[in-house]
Structure 1
Amino acid sequence: MSAGDATALDSTSPGTGPRAGQPDARVPDARVPVEAPTPPPSVAWTVAGLLLMVLLAALTRFLELNVPVWTEGTPLARIAKPVEFPVYAIALGLLGNAVLVATNLKDKVAAAFRTELFIKTGVVLLGASVNLSLIVTAAVPAIVQALVLISSVFLFTWWVGGKLGLDDKLRALLSSAVSICGVSAAISAAGAVQAKREQLAYAASLVIVFALPSIFVLPWLVDLLGLSPAVAGAWIGGNIDTTAAVAAAGTLAGEDALALATIVKSTQNALIGVVAIALTAYFAFKVERRPDAAAPGVGELWRRFPKFVLGFLAASVIGTLYLAQVGSDVGKPVITVANDLRTLFFILAFVSIGLELRVKALRAAGWRPVAVFGLATVFNLVVGLALASVLFAGFEL
């Protein structure tokens, strides 16, 4: 046996010890400093972070209620009136973010910023206001529009994202957000594909950035094109990504347009679960499956499936049955309480998004996600207008 063979045997064979003068790799070496585990976040700092979020949420509500009053009778009144809580919440969150970064306190209080928890809770509560019996009023055209629009816009966004080389998980988030209902859909997709928090924050930020101008642009286009209230409502409800922005734009377009916009948006919201199931299966069976691995079973699909979507569907069914049982006069105040709680959690979520946002992550993503979202938005507007004009022509509310 050569010296080289002996050396190899000494260092690899079972039952042999280390060579003289060398530490045994199997035993911790006292001479090598061991990195201490990261300590858990301080309870006091977490509480401080929660108090900061509650303060910013209260300030958000205060601004939402009072800015229209303060600007009444001024040139800013038309702009201030339809602006809803996502704008103030994101802006205040970003302001708080800048202060925390400047004072080196962000990492200490970051444990309180639970964006996903707040939005998931809000989405479940959103289900209570999705009255399935109301959807039946415009069932056929609304469902047809939702299916065609979601499918075409999702596939277009996915295709463009692939052409521009986006990560599959970010493609899924952007495709879901722009084709269904913005942040809520992005959250559902994030759970299904196990996306990174930075990707979710980026997708949510794009939703807000594109939704805000649409609040004013779409009602202006409705007047310019001379659309009927039904077509206008279907177009607004099918294209604007956030429910709050749909309500704001629908209000500007008129009460009838708002009513149908709500129905169309509710129909799209109800399809969140279908898309989440499809994404869960696609990523489990194709995107993340190794060639030599067995096909994932039902247990793996269930583990990946975002469970809060079931809560959304259950809340919708319960809300519908409850209203049918007690009547709208008795039931609507209860649903209003659920809506108020939903608004509270969404405010906390949007504040948290602003607080969590990391500029480095946005810079790292570059211009390509913005280009994908922008192209998809234009595609959504064109296809949505065509579908609304065909499906809701002559529709009576």
Structure 2
Amino acid sequence: MMYDFDKIIPRRGTNSYKWDSMPDDRDVLPLWVADMDFRTAPAIIDALARRVEHGIYGYVHVPDKYYKSVTDWFDRRHNWQIDRKWFIYTSGVVPAISAVIKALAEPGDGVIVQTPVYNCFFSSIRNNGCRIITNPLKYENRTYHIDYEDLERKAAAPDTKLMLLCNPHNPAGRVWTREELCRIGEICIKNHVTVISDEIHCELVFPGHVYTPFASISEKHLQNSVTCISPSKSFNMAGLQIANIIAADDRVRQQIDKAININEVCDVNPFGIEATIAAYNQGEEWLIQLLDYLKTNYDFLCDFFTKNLPQFTVTELEGTYLVWTDCRILHMSSDELQALLLEETGLWLNSGTMYGEDGEGFMRWNIACPRAVLEDAMTRFLKFVSTRCN
């Protein structure tokens, strides 16, 4: 079956955070919030329709087939064998990260992040009274690399307890290689730093790159890490609010389970369960076609920049649908650029400084939209730049 990702599905008036955060009378084109403007896989829609038809939406028991759908998927696609007893389900990856930090760190402890990085990492650390320790990524030749010497030095500090890893990385677009993850793990194991790996974008990987679950590298990596996963980004079902924490160490898992209950995020909804089962059991072909479409969107964007805006640099996109562009040639801050773009053209992008001060001068584009929408966005950006460079 062929899926139509070119179809424009109006989202205004659906209480969409992405589309309804501005008054209806404004011509706003939002390429900011990280959800997709595509209908999800038909198998998921059908599963939800059946559940809705039942008409009773009470508290839910998570069934065996839920766990089997997840473990079979990761075994088949990523050669990672997850034991069912390692699971803790919760309402999302961000609540999961916050609970894991609460469980494994004390207020004042240091948590390493590799900036620029997903903005909720910062709030999850601060909200638990911990300190943010940055291991800035090195930007060169349109991509990012890890500064291992800096990571080693900061991991060695006695009050550094955790490292928050983004795998694949948002917004840098990196899909970390097995060798890179192995070296991160070795540094953290040596210095008794536990890795929390956010792998929510794990299915959104382009040809030539391979997602490696951090915990799959070795038994030591498994035991010294906690992994957070969800089908929400890959299947455009973030609003259904479901995720899994994978922790192989029994003691660590018990601590996390306690923190999940303290944070009151221990319950999930029936629609998230049904959608997850359908996604992992019947959604693979839809996902494959989605990835093809996202790659052509990225190629279109790169070609547009090359032909019309060659002075800008587009970061290489190995995974996710979030494109990172270097806009420093405009000589304005990311926040200023975001505000002016929105005010003058209606194009709504993410300011790079959302992701830490190392994102200054960059902007993040969400290209998970029909091609016509992306073309409109590029045209608006070109018009904005033309008024300043001519």
Structure 1 and Structure 2 fold alike (TM over 0.5): no
Q: TM-score with structure 2 length normalisation?
A: 0.27
Of the two structures, which has the highest relative contact order with CA contacts closer than 8 Å and spacing of 6 or more? 1
Q: TM-score with structure 1 length normalisation?
A: 0.27
Answer with 1 or 2: which has the greater Rg: 1
When you count helix as a share of all residues, which structure comes out higher? 1
